[in-house]
Amino acid sequence: MNTRENKTVDVPMGNTKEDIKAREAIISDVYRSWYEANPTKAAYNSDLKDVINVRYLSITETMRHAAKSYLSTLAVLQLDLILKNAYQVGEPTPAKAGIKNQSEFSEMIIMECPLVGIGTAKLTVGVKKKTEMKIQYCITAIST
């Protein structure tokens, strides 16, 4: 059980199809609420000194990966905190050529954000080829 904006969220811990579907719905709700609170669909990241934009791809990639893990779903509940406070680890790497969802990006930035009671969240940010706009690609928890 986790609390989000005075709302209790029951995050299933199992790995059944039903548990994963329930976690996907929770992640979708988190993004929906975040969009309502952030009409620009962007958050300023202090480490990058730039905004990280949240787009449809951000939601679908995060749902696809984070819903598989209880801790990753818990991490997504801290979406705003992660977007604003994650810090870059290492140098950006070229986007993977064989991955269709990365085709619009020139490079990927790996970022981390420590979360109390969860561990560390990994935030992957794609840099668009022509505009250099930073797009949130995926959020997951790093197993410890």
CA-to-CA distance for 20 and 84, rounded, in angstroms?
27
Mean pLDDT of 69-77: 96
pLDDT at 144: 55
Instruction: Average the pLDDT over 65-71 and give the result.
Output: 96
| 14, pLDDT greater than 80 | yes
Task: Answer whether 121's CB lies under 8 Å from 78's CB.
Answer: yes
| Alpha-carbon torsion, ordered 35, 46, 62, 15, to 10 deg | -110
Ranges of each domain in the chain: 2-142
pLDDT in tens, 81-132: 999 999 999 999 999 988 999 999 999 999 999 999 899 999 999 999 999 9
Number of other residues whose CB lies within 10 A of the CB of residue 85: 19
Residue 143 has a pLDDT of 65
pLDDT at 3 over 80: no
Contact (CB, 8 A) for 24 and 67: yes
E strand intervals along 6-82 = 7-9, 42-45, 50-53
Cα–Cα distance measured from residue 57 to residue 61, given in angstroms and rounded to the nearest whole number? 6
pLDDT of amino acid 8: 78
Say how far apart CA 61 and CA 139 lie, in whole Å: 8
Query: What digits encode the pLDDT tens for the residues 19-63?
Result: 999 999 999 999 999 999 999 999 999 999 999 999 999 999 999
Nearest CA to 21 out of 11, 30, 7 is that of: 11
